[in-house]
Structure 1
Amino acid sequence: MNRTLIIAEAGVNHNGDINLAKKLIDVAAEAGADYVKFQTFKAAKLVSVEAKKADYQNKNTTNSTENQLQMLQKLELSEKQHYELMSYCCEKKIKFLSTAFDLDSLEFLKKLGLKLFKIPSGELTNLPYLERIAELAEEIIISTGMSNMEEIEETIAVLRGKTSAKISVLHCNTEYPTPFGDVNLLAMKTLKDHFGVSIGYSDHTVGIEVPIAAVALGAEIIEKHFTLDKTMEGPDHAASIEPHELTDMMRAIRNIESALGSSVKRPSESELHNIAIARKSIHLSRAKLSGSQIKEDDLEMLRPGDGISPMKFRNILGLKCKFDLPKGHKLSFNDLDK
């Protein structure tokens, strides 16, 4: 049984508050996630002053006059805060992860000791970024929101040209929240078949159904945004799940992993005792004398199933009874003779 890697995406849902960030770590650890992931960036190196906020960002923030740069500046984590959060993750026994959005942030995450690097959907076509992450990472996860197969193929080619690091690819849609009709979850399997990589799913839908379905379809990695409260102000809160939903998602995914089992079709240990109870055996529908021949209308199929299987029905027609046998008798081959 494969164990799905679960990344609880805190992202920028800390709203720039270190104490809120620690509460998010608490929630992720208590839910049993493998990683809690933040975002590392210097807003001035990520967006220009002309960059407008996305529609979902405008909808979920109250300041309609600020641009994307101004919004993101309030969501930066300092280097000191990164160290503090890493230490707190160690204390809570959950792995720390962060996505870098610029070259300087990549260098800083390497300085922090990160070996696993996550490429966000927006950087998938950023050649200098891809080349540097290939030089730094020992393992790479790529989100593929907004991309087509040719773009993903080009990205993977760049990475493989510079690194032998393991590459995993996450199917993703970057609309917050993603309409269910736009998820296209089956594309995840296309990625696996085409690129021969580990696959997963980064989810931005409302609720927990789609990531659970992704695991049933073979996702090895699930990434899901979470928050303390969906009604908080901030660009990503509304499309995130709350603590109880994260716990429910974790439980459901682990149950699905267990339920997937193997590809072998056979009775499970838990149901073996039901075979005799639920199946039938061949019984006599009337009393038979010793030496009389078994005919079709002498037989009926009744539970329990610990006698001669009805699948042997044709095999016993024409055989003779060795003894006088009463109506309702459960036949055995010891009762019969040629």
Structure 2
Amino acid sequence: MTTEISINGRLIGIDHPPYIIAELSANHNGDITRALRIIEEAKKAGADAVKLQTYTPDTITLDSNADEFQIHGGLWDGRSLYELYREAHMPWEWHKPLFDRAKELGITIFSSPFDFSAVDLLESLDVPAYKIASFELVDLPLIKRVAKTGKPMIMSTGMANEEEIEQAIATARDNGCEALVILHCVSGYPAPAGEYNLRTIADISQRFSVLSGLSDHTIDNATAVASVALGACVIEKHVTLDRRGGGADDSFSIEPAELAQLCKDTKTAWSALGQVNYQRTEAEKDNVKFRRSLYAVKDIAMGESLTPDNVKSIRPGFGLAPKHYEEILGCKAKCAIPSGTALALTLLE
């Protein structure tokens, strides 16, 4: 199993802080200035990468009034697929200025292609990695085409069963992909945290011998932060400037301040994982003296027996350990022991 991969020189794996992807998606709302601002805010928040989606309405669906091309229920109820994607798509002429701005800022930028022509466009921009969206995980020819670029691939598993995930991974590997991350995902917009089954993240890694992570469509950061404890080494989250902006994806996206908190909290969670350790940490060493130990709590005369009345287990910890309590009861004092003395075996007959 690959234990780490690299995208643009950033190492990704369980031994590195989580790789945070700010998904720009449709949150440009038809305004390239807004798209540029999201990239700037992602950099400011500490995200590792910004991700686009590369398609046109004509490369992803048909302009049809047939019922099967209409959306019934959910966030986009009442709209046709073509209408939704016409509004949501990232114009192809925007890609180069967005890539250029990301490079100026020093933040990685890549995209999800939705057909071969999108891969061609992204290759012309020297994209450093690719993302396969959940809905495209069953498009094995697309996965094959992307894998043949030799670039790192990240694939989301929303709606996919075990067999479909296995086929997608095999297709990627058989066609030259050596750097692969699989993101556990629930394709709901938004998705309830209670449906995420985060234990699947560790199972994906073990079952398919891949790095795993999370594509998170919940409306806060709790699920993403929790995923780090299950081994998520990549976290993808939709980001917008304003959740109330009215765009196709705004309502289930996080805002810049929340992205900054996500970057901070996931790094803290990863740092807290550490390793298996039963030794005292540096933070604990100064506090050992405040543990309980055995003290004389009354004056004890020479030759007097130690009893529950004149010996107790109290703080601080400079006396005998409490485990010796029963064995010293009944012993006689070798000398006078004033109240408040930390007991030691040398004081007893």
TM over 0.5: yes
> How far apart in 1 are the matches of 2:273 and 2:234?
16
> How far apart in 1 are the matches of 2:76 and 2:42?
27
**TM alignment of 1:163-312, pairs within 5 A:** 163-277=176-290, 279-295=291-307, 298-312=310-324
Moved more, 328-337 or 213-222: 328-337
Query: What's the offset of the Cα at 1:164?
Result: 4.4
SS at match of 2:283: helix
Once the two structures are superposed, what CA deviation does each residue of 1:14-39 show, in whole Å capped at 9, x if it has no partner?
Answer: 02321110011111111100001111
> How far apart in 2 are the matches of 1:90 and 1:54?
40
Moved more, 256-265 or 192-201: 256-265
Query: What's the offset of the Cα at 1:307?
Result: 2.0
Query: What's the offset of the Cα at 1:317?
Result: 4.5
Report if the CA contact (8 A) 1:56-1:235 is conserved. Answer: no
Which of 70, 92, 104 aligns to 1:52? It is: 70
Q: Name the residue aligned to 1:15.
A: 29
Moved more, 191-200 or 246-255: 246-255
> How far apart in 2 are the matches of 1:75 and 1:289?
88
> How far apart in 2 are the matches of 1:146 and 1:169?
13
Confirm or deny that 1:4 pairs with 2:22. Answer: no
Structure 2 letter corresponding to 1:284: A
Query: What's the offset of the Cα at 1:178?
Result: 0.8
Gapped regions of structure 1 (runs ≥ 5): none
CA distance 1:306–1:328, shift in 2 (3 Å): closer
SS at match of 2:300: coil
Once the two structures are superposed, what CA deviation does each residue of 1:108-166 show, in whole Å capped at 9, x if it has no partner?
Answer: 21221123111111111112111111111331111000011111111111222222412
Report if the CA contact (8 A) 1:288-1:324 is conserved. Answer: yes
For the aligned residue pairs, the C-alpha RMSD in angstroms reads: 2.1
Q: Name the residue aligned to 2:10.
A: none
Moved more, 124-133 or 288-297: 288-297
Query: What's the offset of the Cα at 1:292?
Result: 4.7
What TM-score results when the alignment is normalised by the length of structure 2? 0.88
Query: What's the offset of the Cα at 1:221?
Result: 0.8
SS at match of 1:307: coil
SS at match of 1:321: coil
Report if the CA contact (8 A) 1:14-1:21 is conserved. Answer: yes
> How far apart in 1 are the matches of 2:150 and 2:309?
75
Report if the CA contact (8 A) 1:57-1:236 is conserved. Answer: no
SS at match of 1:202: strand
Structure 1 letter corresponding to 2:314: L
% identical aligned pairs? 34
Which of 43, 47, 51 aligns to 1:37? It is: 51
> How far apart in 2 are the matches of 1:207 and 1:287?
61
SS at match of 1:224: strand
Which of 337, 340, 349 aligns to 1:325? It is: 337
Which of 143, 151, 159 aligns to 1:146? It is: 159
> How far apart in 2 are the matches of 1:161 and 1:171?
22
> How far apart in 1 are the matches of 2:213 and 2:332?
63
Report if the CA contact (8 A) 1:226-1:241 is conserved. Answer: yes
Confirm or deny that 1:24 pairs with 2:38. Answer: yes
SS at match of 2:183: strand
Which of 79, 82, 105 aligns to 1:92? It is: 105
SS at match of 2:127: coil
SS at match of 1:109: helix
Report if the CA contact (8 A) 2:56-2:89 is conserved. Answer: yes
Query: What's the offset of the Cα at 1:318?
Result: 5.6
What TM-score results when the alignment is normalised by the length of structure 1? 0.90
Query: What's the offset of the Cα at 1:280?
Result: 1.3
Query: What's the offset of the Cα at 1:293?
Result: 5.0
